[in-house]
Structure 1
Amino acid sequence: MSGKYAAHPDPQWEIIGRRGHWQVLPIKPYSDGDQRTWPPKPYRPSSEERHLVNLAKVWSEKMGIQRLGFEYYLDKLPLGYAVFEIDQHGKTGVAYKRLFGHRSGKYYDSILRFQPHFLWLMSGMQGICECILCGNHKAEPIKRRIRHPAESILVTREQRATLDPFKSEPSSRSDSVASRATGAISARPQRHIKAVGAPYALDAEGTEDVFKDQLKRLEANKGGKTGIEDDIREPNSIDWRAEHSWTTQSVHDWPGVDHVQRSLTLIEHQHAFVPRVGELVLFCPIFLHEHYLMLDEKTQEYKFYSFEQKCFHGSPVWRGGVIAAVPSAIATDGPVDFPDIQDLPSKQTNLNTGGFRVETFPDPNDEEDKSMSKQYRYLPLRNIRPLSHWQMLLRGIPRTEWHPSIEYALTCMTSISLLEKWYFKGDWPYATIRCKGIYIGPELITVGDAVRIAPRQKAKGCSDVLVVESIRLHLDDIKPEHVSPDSPLLSTRSYITLVGRGYTTDRSRHYQLQAADANSQPSGAQAVPQDEVKTVFRPVGSAIYGHWYPLHAPHHRYEISHDQILGRLYEAAAVQLWTGLLQRKRANGDKDDIKPSLDYDLKGIQEGRVYATQADERLAEAKEGSVLWYWADTRAEALDLQTVNGLEVGKYDKTRDKDTLELWRTHLKILNGQQFSLDTIASQYTSNFPDSEQSGNRRGRPTGSKVIEGKLYKPGDPGYDDIIGGAVLELQSTPSKHKGSQLAGAALVSTDEEDDDEEVSGDGGEDWYDTVEASAESQTIEEGRSVPNQKKPKTKAEIMASAVEDEDISEDEDWYNDHIPLVRGGTEETEGGDYDPRAEMDD
């Protein structure tokens, strides 16, 4: 294909024409796009630049026209296709781009997923398209898809995994909630006809949306004196049931295990410095034997140190990684403790059970290549450090020598997702959803943790902490349209706060000193007693940080937003080991009691969040120095992981197709005690098989056939109507017990005559046979006990006719009334082992 140089690129483009030589590729005039599938507001047209560049790159590679030093872009998208974007609910400046125009009414959530369809169009639409939307495409009325904001945790349940890639966008990112009929677009909501007992609202996977149910209850209680409060349970969700123990009135002994609560309990009983599943960390795959990671105070760099040789031996090779599994041999080796930070204590189990599984973190902006996740190691704690330490640990290492996974991990420093939504409380038009955990950047914060609060002024250091008692998602200004199952939102605005007890090491911030009352006495600003510190603060040794002062009255609580959190408050001894404070000694040899700082990694966290805002392509462009947050439904979505522990997760999970999800829902209904007929279950697996009656291969008599005077008349035979109308049907009495023996004899004895095709009488087109005339012509079982050769099974007509035949046939059934001979036992090694039943016939 001949191209031309782009002399005047669009001034709004940010990539095309900025660097290097660019060449435009005109597309071929093939398209199946349908403009009627374009979405209404709140979607808005978006830039197509990245689509034009990436699609041109793939197309030029396929055609083999690439030239060194040239970049390509398409002149336009195929007719009927366009890129739209929608804001994430409650997140100003953050939007998701989606390509609409497919005839199914669904959209492509990424350029990678549209590539197969685009190449198929450019091939002249030859063959079958194998893209995710055409794979199982069925002709349906065109539907307009209004999807959830990609990170909106308000719309659907917390989903661990996503939809089948051969259907639509994963439910963790969006949800189809609106449709339109053919013709003019109507803004009126569509009526939904639901079966009795059907859920009020469903998410994209067809699972009950419990949050919409709560909003419906809240609206019904509008105007009441009190709001509503209820636990959030999802018994009709296969993911929720797999992670929780739950019982019903009909199922009292549900064998499920509450895996989520088990993990939270494990976190509650371990130190804060122990990495948790899903956290981003720095790790060194190779740790020098008999060395320790220590601070070289001369260069302020972290290096391997040998006490035997008393010298440093270079810096570790760090990588960015995600914790995929934590030690499972706690009962044998005990919990991870302080010696594990710097040393390698003796363990009874191997690292695959007693260590942390750390997987190298792939590029969250690259949906195609996630191969780095396959590079994993089982490591002890001494090989792992929090990601917030990146500036300290990488000091002195040129950026060109950094492993790419480090920058990939820093790209997710502003990701956020909630964990375990468990309680709903509301009073119209406001509501809150309480959670048990939240992933903020690289760390997991759970209820009970102590977190460090960012300083209000950049010039000041960190001095405040919050002991988390509640994690809340606020739904603000709920309107009636949000209650509708068709609405993609739950409220007009939403935000996350953490509530608990606030403390500070700065005495001037004591709540009594901050009171407006001028009569407040400074002498009353007492520090929190040590006993209270030991009770309230989960990290061991929190008193080492210094005296703690309350930020509020005892009966009040302190509330902050999620962006004010720096990270967990770690044990003071762990910080001393990490920062090298314990390496310093006094002249007399005693260790100097140096208080660790709360903001030792403050600069690294702040600069990491700024870097993530600029590097994360899932976020909209922001001003330099500003911070935007990427909201996700699940941790796998926030990190854009393809596999965890070798298993596909999130939108990359191919298991969660429509049929599998429906099968899981059927299993849940059975577990819940709901009765099902076998036909109901079997219909889900036999619906694709042709009906034998419709296929024309039906066995037996055709419908309407009659037997008159021993002859079969079928519909369509000449004179069928006259014969049936004027004849008396042959009465078929119920066979007696003896006639029943005849029927059995006809089925078991008369076999060899079926070998002779000449015995079949009547029309060749008729599926019936004459009865057996004489038993003497048949070889019975007594004659040599030969095994019959059955070429063709007898039809029902032949068997029934044989049952009412002459009594002569009963002579062949004398064997039926005889006593069955005793079977002789034994083997070849015992008496009677040469038993041959045919020998008795010769006697």
Structure 2
Amino acid sequence: MVHIINWSNFRSDGDPAEYTTKQRSTDIARLLANTVRAVNSDPYIKQTYGSVSFTSFPPGYAVCRKPRPKEPSKQDPYIFGNPKGSYSSAVLFAPHVVSIIRGNGSCSCTNCGPNGSTSNIESTPNAIHDDMEPAFPPTPMDVDDDEFPVNTNIDEDGTPNVLTQLLDRAWAGEHFGQAIAETGSMHWLLENEAAEFPDYLKRVKRTPRWQFRLGEVVLVARNLKPGDKLRMDDATGILKIFSRAYGPIGLPIWEAAVVTQLYPKSFGIGILDQHGDSQGTAFDGYRVEPVSEIGTNNKLWSTRYQVVDPLNMRPFSHWRELIDNADLNDPNACHPTVRHAMLAMSSVSGVGRYHFTANGQEARLYFKGVYIGAEFLTQGDVVRFSSPQHLNSFGNDVLHIKHMYLYAGLDRDTEPKGFHLQGIGYTVDRAHAHGNFQRPVPVEELPFRSMRGYGLWYKMSADDTIVRVNYARVLTRLGEDNYMKIMVKHSHTKVASGGGATHMGMPDHVIDLTYGLEGVVAAREHSSKFDPRIDRSIGETFYLADDRVEQLDLQLINGHDVGQKARFGFDSAPQPLQEAHLKSMFRARAARPKAPAPAPKKSAEYEFTEKEMEFAEAFMDKYEAGYTQRQTEGDFDEFISEAAEDEKFKEHMAENMAKADDILSRL
């Protein structure tokens, strides 16, 4: 049973004079629902009524908007009416509401004090109340649970907003953890089925970590002719363009581009053999689109896409070594696309939310992947990071990622504060090792055997202790040692202690872990200063984006106009919602040339297709009409059931599927 509170049976101390000059808010549904939830968590309410509900605040109380002290342009809802002060959240207001329901004048809210009482009703000149003595306990009207008002946490299209519902529970002080499955959301279904994001994640985990991923910003050399290859000139130690006929013929021009389609099939490190005989044709590689300028509508660079051989690509973190310490203040020191990409290096966005937790003080939203600057990171990756506990940790410490989450405090300012990555820490600096792990970790116990090429590794914590790293301290993904040996031949150093560790399976020469890290730091400093989206006036140094499209300020992907509301991260809804956009943007499909035009259809097949399309369109019109007319989740379930049981529809589909099978068998 849910007991409906009739405020006419209670004396309220609310005073309208407290808000007559303030801007009233009409959007009170969430705050009201949170207040009801918080009131129901009070022991007195549970013991006396079980649960209660009310459709308005106590008389004399209203929600008004109030500017933030540090950001006057942003306003938050506050509850006004108590002469002793306003309330910034439902959790703070709930004890005062309970005191009004109890009617004993005792209140422990933040305004009245733990030993205080509610405002004197009789002495409050403008208080709204009647002369009726409050019943104790009152006799509210009883209703069944299924008659409770419909949940207001729905999107504009009528889809339940699961995240908002979870946040409401967190704001109400509830401690819980819950998996996120938005099967009632068309957006979620498109992300997981049309966009094939789960399958893509599985592919990422199966492929070597040096291989580039969808949405990553990379350096590409496009000024090569068919047959030319990039190769290190052993005589000078400089990367040059080599022609099969003439040898070294010039230097590469490095541009920054976004990976929008992947390599056609799986491949290994052998494809990067700089002295091999492969031609590296124009149709062999990743499709990349040059990075356009952030903050403008000029996105012409992205239309100049090209399919690039992986041998002619490098991680964006290598820009400083490859472009010879380019001065970012000099517009002619590097390609315009590199300068465009620099602006996004101090930015972050999450991908694939799957779990939510709250403990009363903090809420956490867990993600399956996160874009930090140029790179996409996911569970199982090993990343380099700078540890705040060690001043000399730059390039010495790595994290084997177990979890990634966005966190936010449950106070008035509920804006997300950033990402944390959790995992097991490893270090090549013995001084950073945990006291019980002063001996090197055997190769077979490392997350990846390919880490051995970087030296001897030590654990930074006990076996079951998780290391937590702030996203701003995460530097780059750690690639396999054989990739770095091919790409960066000259960055090997002799093992300092003992001249090698053959018994541990380590090589005598190890790869410099700091290669490329100075470029990451310089790019982020530049981004923090010049990215127009970062509010430096309040101390921000990173831009927290909703998705990859917003993070890179993209408008075109694979030739599709995705606009500001679509995304390259599988995680928020394009407006208008177009399945074609999702399929073309996010499917981990091969990068390949345009397919030849299909042969003309035979007349019978064409008539069948037209008939089938007409029926499909009519059915979708009926479906959309029913979908938009629903009022509750029960109505929607009933509509879906009726559509599924439509005998005419099933018969029609069975008939046409048989025709389709017959046509396919004759092709």
| TM-score bracket, shorter-length normalisation | 0.5 to 0.7
Find out whether 1:233 has 2:181 as its counterpart: yes
Deviation at 1:371, TM superposition (A): 1.5
Q: Please say if residues 344 and 382 of structure 1, whose CA atoms lie closer than 8 Å, have aligned partners that are also in contact.
A: no
Give the residue type in structure 1 aligned to 2:532. Answer: E
CA deviation after TM superposition for structure 1 residue 671, in Å: 13
Give the superposition deviation at 1:36: 11
Which SS does the other structure have where 2:511 is aligned?
Answer: coil
Displacement after TM superposition at 1:297 (Å): 6.9
Structure 1, residues 361-399: CA drift from partner, whole Å, max 9, x if none?
110121x21121111001121121111111111118785
The reply to whether residue 424 of structure 1 matches residue 356 of structure 2 is: yes
| Aligned-pair CA distance for 1:239 | 2.0
Q: 2:460 aligns with which of 547, 551, 567?
A: 551
Q: 2:293 aligns with which of 355, 363, 376?
A: 363
Change (3 A) 1:336 1:378: farther
Normalised to the residue count of structure 1, the TM-score between the two structures is: 0.47
Q: Which residue of 1 aligns with 2:617?
A: none
Do the aligned partners of residues 373 and 321 (structure 1) sit closer, same or farther apart at CA in structure 2, a change above 3 Å counting? same
CA deviation map 1:30-71 (0-9, x unaligned):
xxxxx999x95436899xxxxxxxxxxxxxxxxxxxxxxxxx
Contact 2:282 2:309 in 1 (8 A): yes
1:443 aligns to 2:375 (yes or no): yes
- 2:473 & 2:462 partners in 1: Cα distance? 21
Secondary structure of residue in 2 paired with 1:512: coil
Q: Could you tell me how far apart the structure 1 residues matched to 2:234 and 2:393 are? A: 25
**How much has 1:290 moved relative to structure 2?**
4.8
Task: Tell me, yes or no, if structure 1 residue 656 matches structure 2 residue 575.
Answer: yes
Answer with 290-299 or 413-422: which moved more. 290-299
Distance verdict in 2 for CA 1:395–1:675, change over 3 Å: same
Q: Which amino acid aligns with 2:190?
A: A
Indicate yes or no: 2:422 matched with 1:474: no
Q: Does 1:321 align with 2:249?
A: no
Over 3 Å counting, the alpha-carbon distance change for 1:293 and 1:560 in structure 2 is same
Q: Point out where structure 2 has 5 or more consecutive residues left out of the alignment.
A: 1-22, 26-63, 77-145, 495-506, 567-572, 580-620, 644-667
Measured after TM superposition, the shift of residue 544 of structure 1 is 1.2
Identity of counterpart residues, as a percentage?
25
Mapped pair 1:606 → 2:521 = yes
The residue matched to 2:398 in structure 1 has which SS?
strand
Post-superposition shift, 1:298? 7.1
Q: Which residue of structure 2 aligns with residue 643 of structure 1?
A: 556
- TM superposition shift of 1:340: 3.1
Residue equivalent to 1:560 = 469
Aligned partner of 1:634 in structure 2 is 547
**Counterpart of 1:230 in structure 2: which amino acid?**
Q
**Cα pair distance change 1:609/1:568, threshold 3 Å:** same
The equivalent residue for 1:391 is 320
Please name the residue that 2:217 is paired with: 280
Q: Which residue of 2 aligns with 1:529?
A: 442
Q: What is the CA-CA distance between 1:215 and the residue it aligns to?
A: 3.0
What value does the CA root-mean-square deviation take over the aligned residues?
4.2
Residue from 534, 542, 551 that aligns with 1:619: 534
Given the superposition, is the C-alpha separation of residues 629 and 583 from structure 1 closer, same or farther in structure 2, using an over 3 Å criterion?
closer
| CA displacement at 1:284 relative to structure 2 | 1.5
Q: How does 1:446-461 map to 2 (within 5 A)?
A: 446-454=378-386, 456=388, 461=394
Q: Secondary structure at the match of 2:269?
A: coil
Partner SS, residue 250 of structure 2: coil
8 Å contact kept, 1:455–1:462: no
Alignment of 1:302-317 (within 5 A): 302-305=239-242, 312-317=248-253
Residue type at the aligned position of 1:572:
D
The answer on 1:42 being equivalent to 2:62 is no
Partner of 2:338: 406
Instruction: Find out whether 1:340 has 2:272 as its counterpart.
Output: yes
Residues 1:547 and 1:664: Cα distance change in structure 2 (over 3 Å): farther
Counting only pairs closer than 5 Å after superposition, residues 673-688 of structure 1 correspond to structure 2 as: 673-675=637-639
Q: Which residue of 1 aligns with 2:395?
A: 462
In the superposition, relative to structure 1, how do residues 397 and 423 fare at CA in structure 2: closer, same or farther (>3 Å)? closer
- Residues in 2 aligned to 1:474 and 1:584: alpha-carbon distance in whole angstroms: 40
How far, CA to CA, are the matches of 1:195 and 1:344 in structure 2? 73
Deviations 1:247-289 (CA, angstroms, capped at 9, x unpaired): xxxxxxxxx4671111110100111111111111111223245
Residues 218 and 666 of structure 1: CA distance in aligned 2, closer, same or farther (over 3 Å): same
Alpha-carbon distance, 1:568 to partner: 0.2
User: 1:294·1:580 contact (CA, 8 Å) conserved in 2?
Assistant: no
Structure-2 residue corresponding to 1:269: 206
Is the 1:609–1:627 contact (alpha carbons within 8 Å) kept by the matching residues of 2? no
Match in the other structure for 1:750: none
Instruction: Provide, for residues 413-455 of structure 1, a one-character-per-residue CA deviation record: whole Å limited to 9, x for no partner.
Output: 0110011110112232433221111100000010000000125
Deviations 1:199-236 (A, max 9, x none): 431346654321221134446674xxxx3222112223
Secondary structure of the residue aligned to 2:534 is coil
1:510 aligns with 2:437: no
Distance 1:401 1:555, change over 3 A: closer
- What does residue 627 of structure 2 align with? 666
Q: Is the 8 A contact 1:340 1:380 kept in 2?
A: no
**Pairs within 5 Å for 1:708-727:** none
The 8 Å contact of residues 441 and 457 in structure 2, kept in 1 or not, is answered as yes
Q: Are the aligned partners of 1:295 and 1:302 in contact in 2 as well (CA < 8 Å)?
A: yes
Answering whether residue 369 of structure 2 is matched by residue 434 of structure 1, we say no
- Specify whether residues 291 and 674 from structure 1 end up closer, same or farther in structure 2 by C-alpha distance, changes over 3 A only: same
Q: Deviations over 1:533-587 (max 9, x none)?
A: 2xx23xx5211111110001112111111111111011111112221239999xx
- For 1:65-214, what aligned pairs fall within 5 Å after superposition? 85-86=73-74, 198-203=150-155, 207-214=159-166
Taking the aligned partners of 2:73 and 2:421, their CA distance within structure 1 comes to 31
Change (3 A) 1:350 1:228: farther
2: CA distance between counterparts of 1:351 and 1:198? 57
SS at match of 1:286: coil
**AA in 1 matched with 2:179:** D
Cα 1:409–1:396 shift into 2, 3 Å: closer
SS of 1:439's equivalent in the other structure is strand
Structure with higher Rg: it is: 1
Amino acid at match of 2:517: L
Q: Separation in 2 of the partners of 1:574 and 1:664?
A: 55
Q: Which amino acid aligns with 1:637?
A: E
- In structure 1, how many angstroms separate the alpha carbons of the residues matched to 2:299 and 2:195? 31
Q: Deviations over 1:96-145 (max 9, x none)?
A: xxxxxxxxxxxxxxxxxxxxxxxxxxxxxxxxxxxxxxxxxxxxxxxxxx
Moved more, 447-456 or 558-567: 447-456
Give the AA of the match of 2:309.
P
For the residue of structure 1 that corresponds to 2:486, the secondary structure is helix
Match of 1:259 among 196, 216, 219: 196
Check whether the contact 1:301–1:395 (CA below 8 A) recurs between aligned residues: no
CA pair 572-627 structure 1, distance change in 2 beyond 3 A: farther
Secondary structure class of the residue paired with 2:509: coil
- What is the SS of the residue equivalent to 1:541? helix
Change (3 A) 1:678 1:648: farther
CA contact (8 A) 1:301 1:393 kept: no
The more displaced of 628-637 and 229-238 is 229-238
Provide the C-alpha distance between the structure 2 equivalents of 1:41 and 1:559, rounded to a whole number of angstroms: 36
